Amino acid sequence: MRILKLAVAVLLPLALWGGHLHASGFENTGLGTTARGMGGAFRAVADDWTAAYYNPAGYAYIIDNQLGASLGLLHFRNTITPDFVAVDEFGNEYGWGIANGQEVYNFHRILNNPAGGFIVRLPFWGETVFGLSAFQPFDQSLRWRMYALDASMLRTYNEDAVGHPWVPGHHYLVDLDVAAFQLTAAREFMEGDLAIGVGLQLLRGDLWFSDLAIRANPRAEENPSIAVRPWDRVPEFVDSQGRGWGFGLRGGLLWKVSEKLNFAATAYLPLDLTIKGETFYTFIMPKEEFAVVEPNSADYLFVTGEILRQTSDFETKLKLPAQFALGVSFQATEKLMVALDGEYTLWSKYEGLSFAFSNFGSTPQFEQEFFQTDLANPVDWDNAGKVALGLRYELNPTLTLLAGGSFDQSPTRNSTELTPQFMDLGTKKSINGGGILHINQWDLGLITGYYSYPDVSLRGLTDVDDNGTFDNFPGDYKASTYETVLSLGYRF
Amino acid sequence: MLRYLILLSGILVVLAIVFGCDDRGTGITPVDLGELENWPGVDPSPSHPFTPALTLQLRNPQELLLGSAYWPPEATSVPPTHTLPLLVLLAPENGNRYYYFKAGLGELARELTASGLIQPMVIYCMANDQTFGGFFYSNSDPAGRYDSIFNSDGIPFTSGGRDDLLEYLHSHYPATIELSSKRGIGGIGQGAYGAFRAAIRNPGMFSSISVADGPLDFDGPTGSSGLISLFDDVVTEQETFYALDPDTTLDGDPIPFDFKVHFDSAGAMPVSMMFIGGSFAFSPNDTLVQYQRIIDSILQGEIWRYSMRITVNNRYRIADSLLPGGGDSTTLMTSIVKGDSPSRGLDLHFHLPFDENGALYQPIWDYWMHNNLEDMYEAAGGSPLAGVSMWFATNQNAKWGYYEMTRSWMDYLRGEGYDLEEYRHSSYSDDPITQDEHLFDVLRQMLIFHSNNFGD
């Protein structure tokens, strides 16, 4: 029990210490150096503590007790060249403060993804093997600055806002961490040929979501003279932070077809998470120095160039997708193992984040509907598949070499509602490699990986829900990701 | 071999980590305004009395030509450290001297200059009338004698030239270059008309003209459209406005609408207002008032106070010529400006070019057509716009048929052999343009056009 307490003490802070890996959508690519080094093709291998994530059934065949941890380090090197413009029938373009035409980078940040777990054979329920682990099945983190009146030559809108300390420094941001604390149990059936494992997850979701909406000036109806270009739209920055709890179930089977061939099937069924928290709003109001309007009126509010801030509570439902996967591994030679995984994630369930706001504070007295609107961006994602191929070569008792790669479909591949927060641009390809050093009972791992995304050019603003705000972010999108995973394992 | 492979892999791993981790910043590069960062940009001072050009202008007892300007820091240095081109922008009907600044001229000019998209220049913005629907920058007593203001008499402003805009501006901004190749003019709506009028009246004064849709061909492409198409709208506008007035009954019985009696100048009737302005500009009843301009001085305590009064010696009226011996023309309007403050006590009346049924009244329409750009162009003889670069912003939804009138004038100019630049743009949701929706974007293009034309 001592080791159980020790493990909980180590794993809990690790899981809560944010981390960021991703596969399609906002799914984590995985964990552990062996699995990541093999490109994620690990379901039919599943022979270390990370099987809790890939295939809980693998625990049944692990003979020794294990304690392990891994740390993924990532850098998303994404680029967007915004083309956030309206285009008239003669091809003339006009925008509202987004730095169009400039290559904009996501904020520099070395992201970390800690994970850990242990496996122990306990003297009850026969040969059942138990494990406790903490990791992040869903994860996304990107942060952008896109709005710049001085870079888009639109000081006219409100020169006072340039460099104003109340204007947020980031405008599009998602920092989503869904951490799972999983209790895993697995045992063998059919005289060692088949194993089944299940993992019960307690999920904790932490969401930080920032969005910028370029909203239609609500005074256009009443007083069109003050709602002309460039004051026809008002930027609203929405910044929401909250958290919630939920449950998930992961199950798998591992069939040893022959001495060399393994077959695996897994399923993951997370329940929706309800996230609650607080929202901060910032509005850069139009500044029209020469406009003549009634003092203390709605028009006055929309010409004096104030930077308005307000707060509210929010609640949103994070709809997490189910996933099904198959895997096969083959011990080609005494030293070489080849593994192949295929997975299918039901991303069509995810519909974007829709916020229900309440308990508004300090909302201006005029145009209250404008200041209290939910600006959710609905998305229309497709289910996505992934194929991974991995190699593991036992060079000698001290060193194991790993190599792998994957093809990963994007759930947004048919969508025109791309936004900077979720940049999954299409089928991405990864190449991974590294090794594990075995010293007595210790395993030290290091792998690195590179993810290549197709370039995407998106043109034309859309408003699919017809709420007066744009639901996409047109521009030229480029992305690549560098990943390094370190691991430490102890067998006893 | 295997060792080398492992070593090479290790190096690649390290390189991948290092390359994948460097800080690129955000990539956003703002326009550095440099010395223009805190530059005010707007100079409200260049409003000046223009005598006698504006002595009898309605609602202008101080004879002021109202204007404002954008000027870069080097514009007023004496002696000049830089030479700067000059751009004159004319406001449309109802536009004041801040019309272009309201659309962002100051910030635009600073940003475009700092980014190198335009060269530093002085931009003088002339106000239009805001009470009587705009004066078309024409040449009459009540509307102002703008032909005289634009006509350079060659007398330096400091030596007594008192109604010469260019001399005044070159004096006010010593760094401006007194070369026509470095002078441009532009305008929107009535300002577009005024820009072309000034250029036709003064060949060689400006090297570039930029305009957005305006009344550039009074009778339109067919000879019976253009402003003529709006006559009915005025009658309808007046009748509708009159019907909404609760005080149009006598002892409970409605008083029938009498066009000449009840014709009104309320700002709620924009088309009517435009024709009132035009009538003051092109068909005022007084075609020439001979007067004495007397300055009275009174010593109050230790301070001398000055006032000006006008003594009229003679008046030449259209009505007199249309109906010898005095009397009335069919469309003379006498109820708008009576002998009160707007007109220094003069009853400055005007003739509409159409009657109470909206039918064209030819004797007065002829006065208007003498001021039509085509007629003025032909009257000038030769090619008064030779060497002038011309830029047009057009929108099919421009108000009051301005689009058709503008295209008709463009067709005429092309027929005369001119090359024109056209910037076509459409409206939001294809709505009619009523509130200068696109001025910000059009203004940006105008500035770039003129800057390119000024050359190095």
Contact flag B440-A92 (C-beta cutoff 8 Å)? no
Contact flag A228-B25 (C-beta cutoff 8 Å)? no
Contact flag B17-A484 (C-beta cutoff 8 Å)? yes
Place of tokens 């020794």: A64
Distance from the A397 Cα atom to the nearest Cα atom in chain B, whole angstroms: 16
Backbone angles phi, psi at A218, to 5 degrees: -70, -10
Q: How confident is the model at residue B411, as a pLDDT?
A: 98
In angstroms, the CA A459 to CA A85 distance is 9
E strands within A257-333?
A: 261-270, 273-284, 307-318, 323-331
- Share the mean pLDDT of chain A: 90
pLDDT of B327 > 60? The answer is no
Contact flag B21-A75 (C-beta cutoff 8 Å)? yes
Distance from the B332 Cα atom to the nearest Cα atom in chain A, whole angstroms: 34
Asked if B283 and B186 sit in the same domain, the reply is: no
CA quadruple B387, B388, B393, B396: dihedral sign: negative
Q: Could you tell me if residue B322 is inside a domain?
A: yes
Asked if B343 and B425 sit in the same domain, the reply is: no
Q: Could you tell me if residue B21 is inside a domain?
A: no
In angstroms, the CA A135 to CA A116 distance is 7
Distance from the A273 Cα atom to the nearest Cα atom in chain B, whole angstroms: 32
Q: Could you tell me if residue B164 is inside a domain?
A: yes
In angstroms, the CA B418 to CA B428 distance is 31
Place of tokens 């007629």: B375
Contact flag A482-B19 (C-beta cutoff 8 Å)? yes
pLDDT of A98 > 60? The answer is yes
3-state secondary structure of B376: helix
Taking the alpha carbons at both ends of chain A, their separation in whole angstroms is 15
The neighbouring-strand residues paired with A213 are A236
Q: Which residues of B touch A482 (CB under 8 A)?
A: 16-17, 19-21
Instruction: CATH number of the domain at B157, please.
Output: 3.40.50.1820
Q: How confident is the model at residue A85, as a pLDDT?
A: 95
In angstroms, the CA B164 to CA B157 distance is 7
pLDDT of B105 > 60? The answer is yes
**Top-confidence residue, B156 or B274:** B274
Asked if B348 and B280 sit in the same domain, the reply is: yes
- Find the CB nearest B101 among A103, A290, A434: A290
In angstroms, the CA A346 to CA A348 distance is 5
Contact flag A79-B428 (C-beta cutoff 8 Å)? no
Q: How confident is the model at residue B5, as a pLDDT?
A: 64
Structure-token pair, residue B20: 């994948």
Query: pLDDT confidence of B12, banded at 50, 70, 90?
Result: low
Q: Which residues of A touch B111 (CB under 8 A)?
A: 153, 155
Q: What is the DSSP string of A387-404?
A: EEEEEEEEEETTEEEEEE
Name the least confident of A107-121, A202-216, B301-315. Answer: B301-315
Asked if B212 and B234 sit in the same domain, the reply is: no
Contact flag A484-B438 (C-beta cutoff 8 Å)? no
Contact assessment for residue B427 and residue B395, using Cβ atoms and an 8 Å cutoff: yes
Q: Which residues of B touch A156 (CB under 8 A)?
A: 103-104, 107-108, 440
When pLDDT is averaged across residues A416-438 and rounded to a whole number, the result is: 90
**Per-residue pLDDT tens digits for B241-269:** 988 877 777 777 778 888 888 898 888 99
Q: Could you tell me if residue B174 is inside a domain?
A: yes
Say if residue A138 is exposed, middle or buried (CB neighbours under 10 Å; 0-12, 13-18, 19+): buried
Contact flag A77-B24 (C-beta cutoff 8 Å)? yes
**Top-confidence residue, B155 or A163:** A163
pLDDT of B205 > 60? The answer is yes
When pLDDT is averaged across residues A181-208 and rounded to a whole number, the result is: 93
Query: pLDDT confidence of A24, banded at 50, 70, 90?
Result: low
Q: How confident is the model at residue B311, as a pLDDT?
A: 84
Instruction: Return the number of other C-beta atoms located less than 10 Å from residue B393's C-beta.
Output: 26
Note the helical H segments in B244-308.
259-262, 270-282
Contact flag B24-A155 (C-beta cutoff 8 Å)? no
Q: Could you tell me if residue B24 is inside a domain?
A: no
**Per-residue pLDDT tens digits for A347-396:** 999 988 889 999 998 889 899 999 998 877 778 899 999 999 999 999 99
Instruction: Return the number of other C-beta atoms located less than 10 Å from residue A91's C-beta.
Output: 9
Contact assessment for residue B169 and residue B161, using Cβ atoms and an 8 Å cutoff: no
Query: pLDDT confidence of B320, banded at 50, 70, 90?
Result: confident
List Cβ neighbours of B84 (8 Å cut-off, separation of 6 or more).
B72, B74, B75, B120, B121, B122, B173, B175, B176, B177, B182
Structure-token pair, residue B73: 């820091």
Query: pLDDT confidence of A199, banded at 50, 70, 90?
Result: very high
Contact flag A105-B24 (C-beta cutoff 8 Å)? yes
Q: How confident is the model at residue B299, as a pLDDT?
A: 85
Identify the contact set of chain B against chain A, taking CB-CB distances under 8 A: 2, 6, 9, 12-13, 16-17, 19-21, 23-31, 98, 101-104, 107-108, 110-112, 115, 423-428, 434-441
- Find the CB nearest B28 among A90, A148, A156: A148
- How far are the Cα atoms of A142, B133, B264, B277, B367 from residue B357, in angstroms, in the given order? 68, 21, 16, 20, 20
Asked if B251 and B144 sit in the same domain, the reply is: no
* Structural domain for A35, as ranges: 2-440+447-491
Q: Which residues of A touch B23 (CB under 8 A)?
A: 108
Q: Which residues of B touch A230 (CB under 8 A)?
A: 104, 440
List Cβ neighbours of B196 (8 Å cut-off, separation of 6 or more).
B209, B211, B216, B373, B409
Question: How much is the CA Rg of chain B, to the nearest whole Å?
Answer: 27
Query: pLDDT confidence of B310, banded at 50, 70, 90?
Result: confident
Residue of chain B whose Cα is closest to the Cα of A432: B13
- Find the CB nearest B102 among A148, A290, A395: A290
Contact flag A92-B441 (C-beta cutoff 8 Å)? yes
Query: pLDDT confidence of B331, banded at 50, 70, 90?
Result: confident
Backbone angles phi, psi at B376, to 5 degrees: -65, -40
Contact flag B437-A99 (C-beta cutoff 8 Å)? no
Query: pLDDT confidence of A13, banded at 50, 70, 90?
Result: very low
Q: How confident is the model at residue B69, as a pLDDT?
A: 95
Residue to mutate among B37, B98, B107, with most A CBs inside 10 A, is B107
Asked if B271 and B357 sit in the same domain, the reply is: yes
List Cβ neighbours of B122 (8 Å cut-off, separation of 6 or more).
B69, B70, B71, B72, B75, B84, B85, B86, B87, B169, B173, B175, B176
Residue of chain B whose Cα is closest to the Cα of A230: B440
Structure-token pair, residue B162: 């008192």
pLDDT of B54 > 50? The answer is yes
In angstroms, the CA B71 to CA A141 distance is 47
Q: How confident is the model at residue B314, as a pLDDT?
A: 85
* Structural domain for B239, as ranges: 226-287+312-368
Query: pLDDT confidence of B328, banded at 50, 70, 90?
Result: low
- Find the CB nearest B20 among A94, A434, A482: A482
When pLDDT is averaged across residues A454-476 and rounded to a whole number, the result is: 89
pLDDT of B442 > 60? The answer is yes
Distance from the A355 Cα atom to the nearest Cα atom in chain B, whole angstroms: 28
Residue of chain A whose Cα is closest to the Cα of B428: A88
Residue of chain B whose Cα is closest to the Cα of A99: B28
- HSE (side-chain half, CA atoms, 13 Å) at B428: 20
**Per-residue pLDDT tens digits for A143-161:** 999 999 999 999 999 999 9
Contact flag B107-A229 (C-beta cutoff 8 Å)? no
Q: Could you tell me if residue B59 is inside a domain?
A: no
- Find the CB nearest B426 among A90, A105, A146: A90
In angstroms, the CA B271 to CA B275 distance is 7
Domain count, chain A: 1
Contact flag A484-B13 (C-beta cutoff 8 Å)? yes
Contact flag A290-B112 (C-beta cutoff 8 Å)? no
Q: How confident is the model at residue B2, as a pLDDT?
A: 63
pLDDT of A450 > 70? The answer is yes
- Find the CB nearest A448 among B13, B425, B440: B13
Q: Which of A445, A451, A448 is nearest to A386 (CA)?
A: A451
Polymer length in residues for chain B:
456
Domain count, chain B: 2
Residue to mutate among A84, A85, A92, A144, with most B CBs inside 10 A, is A92
Q: What is the DSSP string of B111-156?
A: HHHHTTSS---EEEEE---SSSS--TT-EETTTEEHHHHHS--S--
Q: How confident is the model at residue A14, as a pLDDT?
A: 41
Residue of chain B whose Cα is closest to the Cα of A225: B435
Asked if B213 and B274 sit in the same domain, the reply is: no
Q: How confident is the model at residue B20, as a pLDDT?
A: 62
Interface A-B, measured as beta-carbon pairs within 8 A, has a size of: 115
- Share the mean pLDDT of chain B: 88
Q: Percent of chain A beyond pLDDT 90?
A: 74
Asked if B332 and B233 sit in the same domain, the reply is: yes
Contact flag A229-B439 (C-beta cutoff 8 Å)? yes
Contact assessment for residue A154 and residue B31, using Cβ atoms and an 8 Å cutoff: no
In angstroms, the CA B238 to CA B276 distance is 12
When pLDDT is averaged across residues B323-346 and rounded to a whole number, the result is: 70
Q: How confident is the model at residue A263, as a pLDDT?
A: 97
pLDDT of A101 > 90? The answer is yes
Q: Which of B65, B41, B55, B54 is nearest to B168 (CA)?
A: B65
Q: Could you tell me if residue B50 is inside a domain?
A: no
Contact assessment for residue B135 and residue B277, using Cβ atoms and an 8 Å cutoff: yes
Asked if B35 and B158 sit in the same domain, the reply is: yes
Query: pLDDT confidence of A57, banded at 50, 70, 90?
Result: very high
Strands B420-424 and B389-394: parallel
Asked if B360 and B407 sit in the same domain, the reply is: no
Is the N-terminal amide bond of A165 cis, ω within 30° of 0?
no
Structure-token pair, residue A317: 């439902």
Asked if B104 and B245 sit in the same domain, the reply is: no
Structure-token pair, residue B43: 């100079």
Say if residue A53 is exposed, middle or buried (CB neighbours under 10 Å; 0-12, 13-18, 19+): buried
Helix (H) or strand (E) holding A9: helix A2-16
Q: Which residues of B touch A232 (CB under 8 A)?
A: 428, 437
Q: Which residues of B touch A434 (CB under 8 A)?
A: 9, 13
- Find the CB nearest A90 among B24, B424, B439: B424
Q: Which of A31, A190, A49 is nearest to A130 (CA)?
A: A49
Q: How confident is the model at residue B78, as a pLDDT?
A: 73
When pLDDT is averaged across residues B348-356 and rounded to a whole number, the result is: 91
- Find the CB nearest A99 among B17, B20, B28: B28
Residue of chain A whose Cα is closest to the Cα of B29: A151
Q: Could you tell me if residue B380 is inside a domain?
A: no
Q: Which of A180, A182, A47, A189 is nearest to A128 (CA)?
A: A189
pLDDT of A245 > 90? The answer is yes
Residue of chain B whose Cα is closest to the Cα of A395: B2
Q: What is the DSSP string of A187-211?
A: EEEGGGTEEEEEEEEEEEEEEEEEE
Asked if B105 and B158 sit in the same domain, the reply is: yes
3-class SS shares of chain A: helix, strand, coil, % to 5: 10, 50, 40
When pLDDT is averaged across residues B137-161 and rounded to a whole number, the result is: 82
Residue of chain A whose Cα is closest to the Cα of B106: A156
Q: What is the DSSP string of B30-69?
A: ----GGGTT---EE----EE-TTTTTT-TT-TT-EE-EEE
Q: Percent of chain A beyond pLDDT 70?
A: 95
Distance from the A61 Cα atom to the nearest Cα atom in chain B, whole angstroms: 31
pLDDT of A17 > 50? The answer is no
Instruction: CATH number of the domain at A451, please.
Output: 2.40.160.60
